[in-house]
Structure 1
């Protein structure tokens, strides 16, 4: 159990913020090794670890945005930080609406290995195309409300397993003219409310007492996902401008091929 928890938490932490699809990685252990689902409590734990990691890394930006946002509610003039905060709020709405309207349909019909394999490849190619065509001249603070809405709609697409939330939002950011780093930073900041809301929704399912809970797995999942996600964010932003997105595109294509082979011959 502890080994499974560490392994799955590492996968969650490293892939949550990379444009490589965490769902594609999480489906492999169950297909290859026949591992059982760790349960809803474990899912909440690893998402909590990822959430804490992005808040810690962007703590200066988060505090500045939060202060400016509350200031704007009290009638203060908008500034760069409050505009970005309002943009993040706007960008969260499409995924929330799509999740409420289509969540059950997606869970029932699209959560399969074949869908994950197809979306892993397709959205990997789309990321390569967006990066190749990108103008890359804007920072995240220059993204207006139309850009926020477009990024939010892209984030809603990530409800389809294999899409990769960070991958599709970075793709959308590049399409809008954001630099690679700005697109990644906007994507990471967008993840804070959406991970919080998704985790809260999952946590509400634990209140009825029907979910099995292993406290050792929960603690391990939270700590390991936090450490791995924090390291991932730092490394990704440090290397992004140097290596670009092509290595991740190639990796997605290879991963999609592995999934197809495993699903075909299992």
Structure 2
């Protein structure tokens, strides 16, 4: 694959994965609207691994806390911040994994990859984010994140398997609806991405590994590294902006893009 296209794909994935504007939707739109060769599942997996590394690096303190609590959490203990975080992430991931397997086995995952679906998802879930952000309370933090909230946010995250929804956007929507501040909601949403992207990468990566060759592995490595760097930059910028800016600019972008896509789809 040309280096220019790899750079473009990595930038799109890195920038959009953690902004509430849907990375999967933008990756599908790239070949659909530009005529470029579809990058294929292998490159998609690679850029998602890159963004996974970015969020681990950025939230390393929280990640370390969760990893330390994981053994006791698996034994059913919920007596430390680490065990509560680890168990919450497990509970929040289960609905997405189950729904993802269902979509993959039924073939619905391929049927949803259309400009029409992405356009409606961009528009509808952008407006849902706006309402939740404007009406949401701000009294909760990560320390208040229990299993009930984890399950509710996991169900919200499950919807993100519809292209155009945005995994970060829909989980932040759920967090704001539950009463978490913008920064804390984004923090939880980003941490939730770690087991979700890991599970997706393992599931899809198994299929990719069977067909991989030297050239493809090289392209995957380049794409992953570039996606990690762009994701780190985007994540750092977004978390800083959330101290003073609402999600409204992202909502406006989603609404405009959704209307443009729907006009193309129905023209």
TM-score per shorter chain, which class?
A: over 0.9
Deviation at 1:214, TM superposition (A): 2.5
Equivalent position to 2:116, from 114, 131, 137: 114
Q: How far, CA to CA, are the matches of 1:213 and 1:24 in structure 2?
A: 26
Task: Identify if the C-alpha distance between structure 1 residues 21 and 73 changes in structure 2 by more than 3 Å, giving closer, same or farther.
Answer: closer
Q: How far, CA to CA, are the matches of 1:184 and 1:14 in structure 2?
A: 15
Task: Identify if the C-alpha distance between structure 1 residues 39 and 138 changes in structure 2 by more than 3 Å, giving closer, same or farther.
Answer: same
Moved more, 182-191 or 210-219: 210-219
Equivalent position to 1:131, from 130, 133, 140: 133
Task: Identify if the C-alpha distance between structure 1 residues 28 and 108 changes in structure 2 by more than 3 Å, giving closer, same or farther.
Answer: closer
Question: 1:106-129 CA distances to partner (integer Å, 9 max, x unpaired)?
Answer: 324322110100010000000000
1:158–1:165: 8 Å Cα contact kept in structure 2? Answer: yes
1:154–1:169: 8 Å Cα contact kept in structure 2? Answer: yes
- Give the 3-state SS of the residue equivalent to 1:168 in structure 2: helix
Matched, 1:173 2:175: yes
- Give the 3-state SS of the residue equivalent to 1:192 in structure 2: helix
Q: How far, CA to CA, are the matches of 1:72 and 1:210 in structure 2?
A: 36
TM-score (norm 2): 0.93
Structure 2: segments with no counterpart, 5+ residues: none
Task: Identify if the C-alpha distance between structure 1 residues 113 and 140 changes in structure 2 by more than 3 Å, giving closer, same or farther.
Answer: same
Find the counterpart in structure 2 of residue 13 from structure 1. 14
Q: CA RMSD in A?
A: 1.9
Q: Aligned pairs, how many? A: 265
2:69–2:80: 8 Å Cα contact kept in structure 1? Answer: yes
Equivalent position to 1:235, from 213, 234, 237: 237
TM-score (norm 1): 0.93
2:182–2:242: 8 Å Cα contact kept in structure 1? Answer: yes
Structure 1: segments with no counterpart, 5+ residues: none
Task: Identify if the C-alpha distance between structure 1 residues 110 and 221 changes in structure 2 by more than 3 Å, giving closer, same or farther.
Answer: same
Find the counterpart in structure 2 of residue 97 from structure 1. 98
Question: 1:200-229 CA distances to partner (integer Å, 9 max, x unpaired)?
Answer: 111111233377952442222011100011
Question: 1:126-184 CA distances to partner (integer Å, 9 max, x unpaired)?
Answer: 00000111011100220211110000001111111111100000000000001111110
Q: How far, CA to CA, are the matches of 2:161 and 2:185 in structure 1?
A: 19
Deviation at 1:77, TM superposition (A): 6.0
Task: Identify if the C-alpha distance between structure 1 residues 246 and 258 changes in structure 2 by more than 3 Å, giving closer, same or farther.
Answer: same
Find the counterpart in structure 2 of residue 58 from structure 1. 59
Q: How far, CA to CA, are the matches of 1:109 and 1:215 in structure 2?
A: 28
Matched, 1:3 2:4: yes
Find the counterpart in structure 1 of residue 228 from structure 2. 226
Find the counterpart in structure 2 of residue 140 from structure 1. 142
2:78–2:84: 8 Å Cα contact kept in structure 1? Answer: no
Find the counterpart in structure 2 of residue 188 from structure 1. 190
1:41–1:211: 8 Å Cα contact kept in structure 2? Answer: no
